[in-house]
Chain A
Amino acid sequence: MTSGPASTAAPAGPGAAPGFVTSPAPGPANAADGLPCAVLWSLSAHARRLLTLAAAGLVLAVVTGRPEFAGVAAPAVLLLAAWPARRPGRVTVAARVTAQQLVEGEQAAIVVRLSGHGDLAVQATITAAEAFESGPGTEQGAGGSAALRVPFRVRQWGVRRVGRLDIVLRDRFRLWEGRLGLTLPRVECHPRPAELRGRIVLSRLPSRLGEHPSRAAGEGIEFAGVRQFVPGDRQRRINWPATTRTGSVQLNTFTAERTQNIVVLADATASVGEKGATSLDLAFRAAAGTIGCYLAAGDRVGLIVYADRLSWIGPGLGRRHFHRLMDLLLGSQPGWELSAALTRLPKAALPPGALILVFSPLLHPRLVEALRDLRERGFSVLVVDVLTAVPAARSRDRVAGLARRVWRLEQQAIRFSLTELGIPVVHWDGQQSLDEPLAPYTRRVMLAGRT
């Protein structure tokens, strides 16, 4: 019972799971529940070779009159004669991705459940897209259904389709191959967050309840000092040893605990450097690490992506906000054309008194102008330089070498001018923890408005 090849391709049915597209005509079912897929059968390359051997042997036997050539053809003829009868025209495929959201380097898998294929051997492979790496599929089949798990790993952040899942059905003699394919859905891959444990805390914090002890006295838990009791004070805070010593009622005072506003500015205007560790990769990884670190501390974090289109989200709190910020990072289109005219960042994205952490290779002059403007507006700005590449030049090319030196001097001048303006610039190469370059600023309180 052979079936004819299915040559029509159709989009997924109305109830299909998002992202999964089958190349042969699928039914109306959901891909996660099972999608009937047509199988395209063809002679395997092995069968074609056996056929060639059989035909060549028999023809030579007759032409040359040497019976041993018919004997040479015998094993191939016998193997071809033993073709299995059953080749199903349709099988039911249920596929799902184990994780829709990943971080660079994380592993997930496509789990495929196949039924209706009988005793045919099943092989599933992922033809991975550029930013993915796929592993060998493992079968855990039993009886009439097979469950296959094909692992894959993401190498680069972004929102991309994993690739294509190819399923091959083979008979026991491996003479026929039935093929069907699924276009795998998009997965969201976050940049791998840079390691950051220490936090920069400004000396002047907005009057919102948070976790950072501020200079002002308040209702926190960190001891600030002792003062004389005045009517209206809470009696439970009386410091009895001090009261006994001084003869007048003394009261413990505590620091107020405040939150702070952080605005992360990720520069996506340039992506230079080695593939996988470009300035854009480092900027986004550092931004992701910083966002996660400050949100974990209960701070309010906002994000500005300085790219071809300036996009921002104001400071906020919580897990949902973290995902909003990640979505903004992933959705940004790197480039510089439209933002070339922008030297002033929007006021809505910059709450007063916010600490602005900039991750940039400092290659775009307009961004440098924008940083100067921020400083003039009184913001505390700290720049993390993520440039790790220098222009390539041949060793014997004197002009190129000279141009490289000029370029280096220009870069040094930019960094020097920012430092002179009171914007500290630290360098992060992507290799070490982000704590190391930021250590001078995380060990003590950073003066707001001044550095």
Chain B
Amino acid sequence: MIRRHPVVGAIALVVIGYLWIPILAVAVNSFNRSSLMVRWGGSTAHWYSLAFHDPNVRTGLITTLEIALGSTALSLVIAVSGSLWWRRAPARARAIYDALVYARIVLPEVVFATALFFLFLKAHFPLGILAIIIGHSVWNSAYAAVIIQARLTGLDPAIEEAAADLGATPWRVFRRVTFAALLPAIIASGLLTFTFSFDDVVTSYFLGGQSSSPLPLVLFGMIRFRITPEINAIGVMVMLFTVTLMGVAVAVFALMGSARRGRRGAFAEFYGQ
């Protein structure tokens, strides 16, 4: 048993406080009646109503969701197919592939964003939602690839042969074994890429063009004029949305688990007696 020094606990508290107090301040100020937020002016839900009915915020949110979903889907397709190729590739090809994946994680986002910006201009590819989706997928697909490859490395390369041996056609082998065994990693990387895409500013800023902006850019534009409790309210709602999303994911996992337990009940009839 390791004894903890009291100072360690104190440092931990300070750090956690440092991280959470600003968020708490945002949450509190979102209810502040005083629009300058220099003092507490009594509580109100007015800012929430304002934010909720603000057309810029609404379209911004919809744009963000479109981008996040699109980028998640594109990243997963790239990461899954790339990883499956990687698994059986020769060692040298794997090393090159790995280097390309890590480069997309390590190199600054702004570098890719400018590069793509110039590329799209040269190629006369229109800036906008599709351009942002492609831009996000540059790094999102790399994060997804790392997670999925980690799972693949743990898989016995013989399981596909085993499935074929047990009568599964190539398509069934993929569906029942390869894809099924990868599913937890696919879901995990999907949630991660969705979240990364959801709050991205840099890539979206470079590739958004004149079209409607995603929510982070809407917020960015708003605070350049003035900081109001409405922005705090939006922040809180975004936070709630993200937390709800995670909650749904956890609930889905739990349901999958209990469904399995439910089937156990059915089999218990056979094995119990």
Partners in one complex: no
| Chain A interface residues (CB < 8 Å from chain B) | none
